[in-house]
Amino acid sequence: MTRTTTRKFQNPVSFSQAVDLLKSGEVCAFPTETVYGLGADAFDAGAVLKIYQTKDRPSFNPLIVHCAHMNMAEKIVRFSPVARKLASFWPGALTLVLPRLQETRICDLVSAGLGTVGVRVPAHPLAQELIKAVGRPLAAPSANPSGRLSPTSVGQVRHAFNDRVAVLDGADCAAGLESTILGVEEERVVQLRSGAITRREIELLLDTEIEIAPANTAISAPGMMVSHYAPKAKIRLNATRAEAGEAFLGFGGAGGTAGPLTKNLSPGGDLAEAAHNLFGFLHDLDATGASRIAVAPIPAAGLGEAINDRLSRAAAPRKVETVPE
């Protein structure tokens, strides 16, 4: 069970209410261009603890710190020349895991005791304004109970926490998939999580191939643990049609039979549209009460890498020992 206050919020809250909550050490959910985040002042250990409690997240799974601009990020982590180059994706859907500066005011709980911190500058204007108004970097995981689907709309956040968490409304998230996470040690770049910025875009910028961390390897990259992003329904991948009792999530020409239990991520076969719709449609099909969702094959190229990653995690058996986000 997630632990939230007994207080119910009149959601969505106003911008000034969101600022007041965050300044007074409370959590508040806010929109980013990827998914909604559950934010707290990254300097305030008490506030950050509330994120872990609200999500029921294991405290050894570190949080991403959201900054308004490069200057703010430079006070938290050390940028190698390659990391600086990668920061040209900012503001945007890229998280860089970099060595933590000794003098940073980020509390230890944010990075779960690791010597690195994941930082990103989100592109959503409200996220930027919020960080500036609070005047502090905001630690924020996706605004879902641990192990569940990331929310891409204000309604999904409200539903997930039953309005016991304040939410700032920034409309539906444009990308709909979480940020791409790269670990950077000097020259070495390792993709820890595929996401809204494709590997191809990154490799084009660096003019070299990057490493991909093998799935489910180290605790230094807990985001890679297998069972994540899970709806309540089971997931069956690479399905050509729904079996009895199943909902169907189609793609392109494999759209399934029209009906309340069927959705098509992108009838025209556009991967950006599919990414944008992915979590929302999984939420919707889950809400029908179907015990299983059959999913059409999705091409692996470009954004298909991240879409297939999330789907295979959603389909993974839910073992007790896996670490949810």
Give the interface with ligand TXA as residue ranges (CB under 6 A). 32, 34-35, 37, 61-64, 95, 97, 111, 114, 116-118, 140-142, 178-179, 181, 192, 220-223, 325
Compute the C-alpha angle 196/202/204, nearest 5°.
135
Q: Is 152 in the site for Mg ion (CB under 5 A)?
A: no
Give least dist CB 252 to ligand TXA, A.
26
135, two tokens: 């005047």
Partner that binds at residue 181, options Mg ion, ligand TXA, none, CB closer than 5 to 8 Å by kind: ligand TXA
> For the window 107-146, what string marks contact with Mg ion as x by the rule CB under 5 A?
-----------------------------------x----
Give least dist CB 323 to ligand TXA, A.
8
Count the site residues for Mg ion by CB under 5 A.
2
- Contact yes or no for 141/55 (Cβ under 8 A): yes
Q: Is 325 in the site for Mg ion (CB under 5 A)?
A: yes
Partner that binds at residue 54, options ligand TXA, Mg ion, none, CB closer than 5 to 8 Å by kind: none
- Classify residue 297 as exposed, middle or buried by CB count within 10 Å of its CB (0-12, 13-18, 19+): middle
Residue with CB nearest ligand TXA?
Answer: 223
Task: Name which of 27 and 221 has its Cβ closer to ligand TXA.
Answer: 221
Helices 15-23, 125-134: axis angle to 10 degrees equals 40
Partner that binds at residue 19, options ligand TXA, Mg ion, none, CB closer than 5 to 8 Å by kind: none
Task: Name which of 305 and 325 has its Cβ closer to Mg ion.
Answer: 325
Task: Name which of 3 and 105 has its Cβ closer to Mg ion.
Answer: 3
Number of CB atoms found within 10 A of residue 162's CB: 10
Partner that binds at residue 227, options ligand TXA, Mg ion, none, CB closer than 5 to 8 Å by kind: none
Give least dist CB 263 to ligand TXA, A.
23
Binding site for Mg ion (CB under 5 A): 142, 325
